[in-house]
Structure 1
Amino acid sequence: MPSALPIADPAPADGALPASVVDGAADRAFGAYLHVPYCRARCGYCDFNTYTADEVRGTSRADFAGQAIGEVMLAARVLDAAGLPRRPASTVFFGGGTPTLLPTSDLAAMLDAVRDAFGLADGAEVTTEANPDSIDAAGFAELAAAGFTRVSLGMQSAVPHVLATLERTHDPANVPRRVAEARDAGLQVSVDLIFGTPGESLADLDASIDAALATEPDHLSAYALIVEEGTKLARQIARGEVPPVDDDLHADMYEHLDVRLAAAGYDWYEVSNWARDDNHRSRHNLAYWTGEDWWGVGPGAHSHVGGVRWWNVKHPAAYAQRLAVGESPAAGRETLDPETRRVERVLLETRTALGLPIDVLDAEGRTAVAGLIADELVDAHLAIRGRLVLTPRGRLLADGVVRRLLPNDL
C-alpha cells in the first residue's frame, strides 16, 4: 500500500492559512496539481497513493470529479481569505494514478473549475498523465479542445520481460500510436521511462531508448527504479524471487541514457528530465524545484503556498467525507522556517541545469565547493561565476553532493 503521510502539525478544519503567506506572493507563480488516485491495476513497484476499484469503499470513481471540483472551490475561498492576490494558474497538472481512466468530460470539468476559480495565465501549460491503453485519438482531441496542452505517456519500457517485472499491463505497440495521435491533436508529448528494473540489461535499455526516440517526443523523463518498502516488488526481492537492484548497473544505465539523449538533441534540465529545448521543459515540475506556489487537489495531494506546506488525507473515502461536510481534506501541515527553506532550496535547485547560486550556501557549504570541483562533481567554470551546476558525474552522485553542501543539516 502507499507509504504513510508525514508527521506534522494538525491542519485547521477550514484550511485557513497564516497571514505570512502573502509576503512575496506577487513574485511567485501559482499552479494547480490534481491527483486522480485510481488505477485499473496496481503495479508491483508502485508506492504512489493509488487504488483499484476493489480497494475503495465509501466512494466511487464516478464521483471523483465533483469532489475535486469541491476542493478547487475551497482553495479559492482559502486563498482569498488569506489576502493573497488573485494569480492565474500558470501550470495545471493531472497526475495519478491514471487520470485518463476518468471520462474526458470529467477531466475537462475539473480544468474548467480551475479556470473559473483562478483563471489560466496566457500560454498556461496544462498536462495530464496517461496510460497508453487508457486513451485514444478521440480522447486526445477532446482534451485539446478542453484546453489541455500536453500529455505525459507512461511508457516505462519497450521490452516485454521488463514490463512484466514491473507489472505494467499496457501494450508497448500502443506507445507510438498514442504519441502520433496526441501530436495530431496539437498536444506536446512527454514519454516516461524507468530504468534499472531487476533483470533489465543495457541492451534492453537501448531497445527502450530506441523505441522512445523513434516517436520523436518533445520531452523525456527517465527515473531509476527505487524499490520502496512495502511494495510487492520489495517482497519479491526479499524472498529471492526477483534479483536485487544493481546500483552499479543503475549508474551505467544513467550515463548511457544521458549520452544517447544528448546525441538525439535532448538537453537535460533536471537530473531525471530532458527536453528538445527550453520551450518543452515541464514548467509545472520546474515550479516544484524552484519553490513556487501550488495547490494540490485530491487524496494524498501535497500543496505549498508561501512557505506553508500541507497534505491531504490519503484514502478517497476519507477525502470525500471531509469535503461532504465542508471541511478541508488536509491531514497535516508545516510552516517552514527560513533555514528549512534554504536547505530545501539547496536540495532541489542543485538537481537542475540552472543550478544553485553559491551565495545561498552557508560558510561550510561554500568551503565544500572547492572539493566538489576537484572531484569533478560540479562545473568549475560556472562555480567561479557563482553558480553550482552538476557535471554528468555529479548527477550520478547528486545525493552525496548535497550532503557535502549541507554537512550540518542532513
Structure 2
Amino acid sequence: MPAIAVPAFALAWWLACYLISRDPKRATLRWQAAALVSYALGVAAWTMAPGSDTAEILLCVPALCWAGAVVALLPLTPTERRSVDRGALALGAAFLLMIVFLPQAGRLVVLAPLVGGLTLLWRLRAQVTPRMLPAALTVMTVLCTAALGLLLFTSGGARAAIAALGLDLLVAGYLVAVAHAAETGERLRPDLRRALAAGLAVVVLAGIPAAATMFLVPAHDGVAALQFVVLAAGATPAGLGGQVRRLLDRLALADDGPLRSDRAALFLNADALLRRRQHRRLNTVGETEFLRMTRRALHDFADLNRLARSPLTDLPSVERRLAGREDQPRARARELRAVLRESVSALRPPGPFGTTDDWRYYNVLQFCCVLGINPYARRPKTDGMSREARLAADWFRRYVPEAVTKQWIREGAMIVAERLWSEVATRRQELPAGPDGAHDTQPVNG
C-alpha cells in the first residue's frame, strides 16, 4: 500500500496547493482543491486503517467537492449564480450527512450531485470554455464511478480503485486549471511544468524515504501518520510557491521594508512572465474572448498582479506608453490600468455629477471598478473618499439593486471593449493576413 499511497498523497496534496495558488478567490479552484485534499486524507486514513468507515467517507467526499467545482464552472448570471451556489451548498451538506450514515453500498449516492452538475454543464456547453470541457469531465466522471464502485462493492480491488480515483482527480484538477486559464486569458503550461517539477522532486526526495520507512516499520500508525505529515510539509511549498516565498520574506525581512518590496516586485514579475500569454496573442482572439478579457481586467483593476497576466497588456496603446522604457509585466500592468481609466473617463457626460441614465455606465465603472467601492458592504469604507464618491455610493445603495449594478458593469465593459477593440482591429489591418487572408475587425457587440 505505501507504494501507491505515498505518490498519490504527495501529488494530490501538491496539486491542491497549486490550484489554490493560481487564484484563492476562485470557487472552482477551491472546490477542486478540497476534493484533492479529501482524497489525500482518505489515502492516509486507508493506509493506517484499511477498509475503515473514515477512510471510505474521505474517499467519497471528493465526488461532492468535484460537483461543486462543476457547478462553479456553469456560465450563469449573478442572480442565477447566487441561488445555484446556495442550493449546491445545501445539497452538498445533505449528501455529506447521507454518506456518513448510509451503509457501505449506499455511499455511491455521492455521485448524484456530480451527475446533476454535469447535466447542467452539457445544457450550457455552448457558453463553456474550452468547448471540450464537458466531454472530458464526463469521461472522468465515468472513471470516478467505476473506481468508487470497485472500492465500495469489492474487497480485493481497493488498491487499484484508490490509484484509479487518484489519477482521475489529478486529471480533473488539470482540466479545471485549463478552464481557469482559458477564462482569465493566462498561460498554464510553463507555470504548471515548473510547479510539477517541484512536486516530482518532493515525491522522489521525500516520498522514497517515507515509503521505505512504512515498509520497515509496519503496523505503527504513528510512524505512518508522521510520514504523511512530512510529505504534506514538502508538497505545500512546491504547490504554493510564491505565497510561501512571500511569507518567508515577511518573516525574515520584517525590519527591511524597501528590500522586501523590491523582492516582491521581482518575484511577481517572474510569476507573471510564466502566466502571461505570448506576445501578439491579441491578433488572434475573437470578439467574445476579447470582451471577457476586458471584463476581467476591469474586475481586477485594483489588483496589479492579476493585471500583469492579462493579455490586454499587449494593447497598442500600452505599447505606445512603454516606448523607450523598461518592459516588465508590472510596468505593462500599470499602463493597462491607465488605459482602462482613460476609457472609463471617456464615458463621463459633461457637467457636474449626476445619476441619470447617461451617467450609469460611467458611475458603475468609475466607482465600483476603478475606485473599488462596494456600496453594498455591511460597513462600507468611506475614509478618504471624495464627496462625489460618497454621493455615488449612497445612490447605488439606496436606489440601484446589486443585480442591476452587476448588469450595468457587464454592459459598460462592452462599451470599453468596443473602444479598445478598434485599436486591435487597426493593428490587424497593418499586419500580414493569415492563411485565409482575412482579418476579424468586427466591433464588440457582446
- Normalised to the residue count of structure 2, the TM-score between the two structures is 0.22
Higher helix share: 2
Q: Which structure has the bigger radius of gyration?
A: 2
TM, length-normalised to structure 1: 0.23
Q: Which has the higher contact order (CA 8 A, sep 6+)?
A: 1
Task: Judging by fraction of residues, say which structure has more strand.
Answer: 1
